[in-house]
Amino acid sequence: MDFSTLLGILLGFGSLILAFVMEGGSVASLIGVSAALIVLGGTIGATMTSFSMKDMLKLPKLIGKAFKEEGNKYGDIIKYFVYLAQKARSEGLLSLEQELQSDEIKNYDPILKDCIELVIDGADIELIRTTMENRIYIEDKELKREASIFEAAGGYSPTMGIIGTVMGLVHVLGNLSEPDKLGPSIAVAFIATLYGVSMANLVWLPIGNKLKNKAQIKKTEKEIILEGSLSLQAGENPKIVEKKLLTFVVERESVAKAKEQSVKGEIADDKA
């Protein structure tokens, strides 16, 4: 499980509720079934109107994906291509055909197998690049469209909250004959706005961003695979292949380590 998603949601809602209680509020006063129905039902209805039923049926799977830990495989992919480059250099490109049936290749995106097949078939480099770049673009666009479902819900949710509040105020203004009940009734009316805004900013939009980040990782993995495949087709040296693919990976730890080594070098020069 990706605990950052779960902990983030719990921390967000927990902080709001704790702050409310610290100010003397009651948790029970935040419960409003009708407000929740207006906000959740209205948000889902508006989102359903914006997307197809096929897209909406993906929601459980997409929510599960947001809670699932999926680290990047940049390092493993680069290491695998260095191995492939060494094998192709010593045994020829046709020797890579054995890799198509290996268990390791199944651990990566299906585009890897398709790229290696094109390399083995001796396809032109530009053909491989054009075909796979189009595929990467389409698949990335689809993943981001799935994330946009939650972004759309995040846009509708606050508006539904306002609608719920207005409906509640209409009810309150229709019963002005009981002034002593106006305060509690108005408070209940504003719960819908609270639900709408909090759901948008603590659930819908964060999950949408999480899915977009995962989509970006997948895109980078596919770009590394494509560039590695083109290097195999060009018969490049394994060390060159490794250096070229590492340019796709920008890790903070690597940058920090490089800076640290640079500082140590400057200190050593000063002492010398």
The per-residue pLDDT for range 98-154, each reduced to its tens digit, is 888 888 888 889 999 999 999 998 889 999 999 999 999 999 999 999 999 999 999
The per-residue pLDDT for range 31-63, each reduced to its tens digit, is 888 899 999 999 999 999 999 999 999 999 999
Would the pLDDT of 252 be above 70? no
Would the pLDDT of 265 be above 60? no
pLDDT at 255: 42
- For 103, phi and psi rounded to 5 degrees? -75, -30
Cα angle at 227 between 222 and 233, to 5 degrees?
A: 125
Whole-prediction pTM: 0.81
The per-residue pLDDT for range 185-219, each reduced to its tens digit, is 787 788 999 999 999 999 999 999 999 999 999 99
Exposed (0-12), middle (13-18) or buried (19+): which is 91, by Cβ within 10 Å? exposed
Residues 6+ apart with CB under 8 A from 77: 108, 112, 221, 224, 225, 228, 245
pLDDT confidence tier of residue 264, bands split at 50, 70 and 90: very low
**206 vs 66: CA distance, rounded Å:** 9
Mean pLDDT of the chain: 86
Tell me the domain boundaries of the chain: 1-30, 31-254
pLDDT at 271: 46
pLDDT at 180: 66
Using DSSP's 3-state secondary structure scheme, residue 261 falls into helix
The per-residue pLDDT for range 140-191, each reduced to its tens digit, is 999 999 999 999 999 999 999 999 999 888 877 777 676 666 766 787 788 9
Exposed (0-12), middle (13-18) or buried (19+): which is 119, by Cβ within 10 Å? buried
Give the pLDDT mean for 13-42: 91
